Amino acid sequence: MTDSKDTAENQVPATSDTPVAPEATPETVSEDASATAELVVADPAAATEPDDAEPVVVTADATTVSAGAAEPVMAAAVASPAGSRGKRTSDRPKRGPVRPEGPAPLGHYAVIETGGKQYRVSVGDLIAVERLEGDAGSEVTIDRVLMVGGNGEPKIGAPMLEGAAVTATIETQYRGEKIIVFKMKPKKRYRRRTGHRQSLTRLAITAINA
């Protein structure tokens, strides 16, 4: 009996100043739901966006690409690291003449001598030799043949091959590039500077007779 009296005495009667929460009614619940729906759809453009729109990805260099193109961009970044800038890669063409790999196949060839020099020639070759007499288009025969090979056993002269000859056609008569000839004598005040261009003939080899 004492506990019930103490509990009743400790209770504070409700007054007009104490706020009382209103009871939830079906009308109040419907109004709260509509307000929540309006807050969720805050951006009208986002509500009208189609479902199949591709997401957008922003790359490191501030460029915007679609999600479908993000994989090639990342693959290119992995393929070319930052430290490889300025270095030659296998895709770039190399400078200079292109040389075939391995020894070139030997055809019918001859070693001739003209102008105090020796040349290894085959049919169809173009060579530049010391000036030979003749006009462009004329035919010349070089009978100083030291060696013929390419078809079976090579034939070597001692020093020249008897009866062997190489026929060629003169393509043009021209002069080579200019070179500088400089002469001096120390302590004599002697200085001479001159230029020289050698006279040359371009030949096209047409036949090898051995």
pTM (predicted TM-score): 0.49
List pLDDT tens digits, range 165-183. 999 999 999 999 999 999 9
d(CA 140, CA 203): 9
Instruction: Tell me the range of 18-22, 29-33, 72-76, 122-126 where mean pLDDT is highest.
Output: 122-126
At residue 109 the predicted structure's pLDDT band, cuts being 50, 70 and 90, is very high
pLDDT level of residue 28 (50, 70, 90 thresholds): low
Question: Could you give the CA distance from residue 145 to residue 130 in angstroms, rounded to a whole number?
Answer: 16
Mean pLDDT score across all residues of the chain: 73
> With 0-12 CB in 10 A as exposed, 13-18 as middle and 19+ as buried, what is 53?
exposed
CA distances from 58 to 61, 71, 78, 82, 197 (A): 8, 12, 17, 20, 65
For residue 210, name the pLDDT band (cuts at 50, 70, 90): confident
Q: What is the pLDDT of residue 112?
A: 96
Q: How confident is the model at residue 124 (pLDDT cuts 50, 70, 90)?
A: very high
Q: Across residues 34-52, what is the average pLDDT?
A: 49
